Amino acid sequence: MLRATGLHYTYPGAARPALADVSLQVAPGRLLGLLGPNGAGKSTLMAALTGLIRPDAGDIRWGDEPLDTHAGQPRVVALAPQQDAFYPMLSVAENLACFAAAAGLGQAAARQRSEQALAQTRLQDWRTRRAGQLSGGLKRRLNLAIALLPAPAVLLLDEPTAGVDPQSRAFLRQVLRALADEGIALVVSSHLMGEIEALADEVLILDQGRVLRCAPLAELLADQSRRLTLDLAKADHPAARALLAAHGELRPLDGTRLELRLHPQSSPARVLGALEAAGLALRGAEFGRTRLESTFMALTDEALRDDA
Ligand SMILES: Nc1ncnc2c1ncn2[C@@H]1O[C@H](COP(=O)(O)OP(=O)(O)OP(=O)(O)O)[C@@H](O)[C@H]1O
């Protein structure tokens, strides 16, 4: 079990802390989803867990052993960063050999670990391809393969599917789930709520360096309050908004979607009937299922961040 307790960190000269009393734990075989608006502190938290920065206060342990956060412990915690972190002129296999040597693996171990990392990320058919010529999804998998070389017990992934198409994203999700099934503890940051909803066992929501919520995904989605999600055909629809406000509390989601937390005396049927009677078009409606996105928006506010 990786356990971080009471982490604090302020960048030199910064006005406010990037991490303020952050605690988390993630067990082998579990996937912790890390959500937060821009500037929430996700990358800083990953840097602290990897040992790239030393927290001003707090404690990070793997089991009973403290992780020496400054020296870093690559065999326990590895990071697959958001940016491509490989040599584009080298082939996939050459990159793995190079990073295995940098990680201090001997020749036999380097060969064995490279083969395993290729299998874990299903990159075997691409070993001779020059890394710079890989598609976006394959580049993300190479980043992941490099992080897997030291056989880490904990793998941190900073936006592992950023900028890849939906097919590659779905494939990457399968790869991550398989890694968790092998017993690796995963921490995955993402801006994609659907991705975290599809992947995570536990979810940590961070904002302005503070933990707003850390709970099992099922608990976050079990909110039984009566929420109706509506997709209005237009982004700005004052008439519909005025009508809906009489039925409950309105919260904008993205684009043309709104969430309506229904008053006890209203119902989905009444709302839909009222919209129809007023001749107001609707593209879609969903009731009875809480989305992670609405929990996230409720906790973090809709206000744009200064850092955004
Ligand atoms: N090197 C740095 N020096 C000073 N301040 C920094 C530095 N890196 C990040 N910060 C600040 O620390 C806070 C947390 O940033 P961090 O990058 O960890 O957030 P994040 O959640 O990863 O954001 P994003 O989703 O945009 O990647 C922000 O206020 C940011 O401006």
Which ipTM was obtained for this model? 0.97
- Residue 29: how many other CB atoms lie within 10 Å: 14
Ligand 1 atom 7: residue of nearest CA: 11
Ligand 1 within 6 A of 11 CB? yes
pLDDT tens digits, one per residue of 133-173: 999 999 999 999 999 999 999 999 999 888 888 888 888 89
CA of 201 to the centre of ligand 1 (A): 25
Cα gap 257→240, rounded to integer Å: 12
Average pLDDT over the chain reads 88
Confidence of residue 306 (pLDDT cuts 50, 70, 90): low
Which single residue is written with the structure tokens 């400054």? 70
CA of 274 to the centre of ligand 1 (A): 45
Ligand 1 within 6 A of 40 CB? yes
Q: Are 7 and 60 in contact (CB under 8 A)?
A: yes
Ligand 1 atom 4: residue of nearest CA: 11
- Percentage of the chain beyond pLDDT 90 is 55
Which pLDDT value is given to residue 308?
Answer: 43
Confidence of residue 69 (pLDDT cuts 50, 70, 90): very low
The first and second tokens of residue 213, run together, are: 């919520």
CA of 156 to the centre of ligand 1 (A): 17
Cα gap 77→120, rounded to integer Å: 17
pTM of the model: 0.81
Q: Please, which residues bridge with residue 287 across strands?
A: 228
**Domains of the chain by start residue, with CATH:** 2-221 (3.40.50.300), 227-289 (3.30.70)
- Ligand 1, closest atom to CA 41? 18
Ligand 1 within 6 A of 304 CB? no
pLDDT tens digits, one per residue of 124-138: 999 999 999 999 999
How many Cα neighbours within 13 Å face the side chain of 27? 4
Mutate to test the pocket of ligand 1, among 192, 206, 211, 307 (most ligand atoms within 8 A of CB): 307
Mean pLDDT of 13-30: 95
Q: 16 Cβ partners below 8 Å, 6+ apart?
A: 10, 208, 209
Cα gap 98→92, rounded to integer Å: 10
CA of 185 to the centre of ligand 1 (A): 24
Ligand 1 atom 30: residue of nearest CA: 39
Which pLDDT value is given to residue 295?
Answer: 74
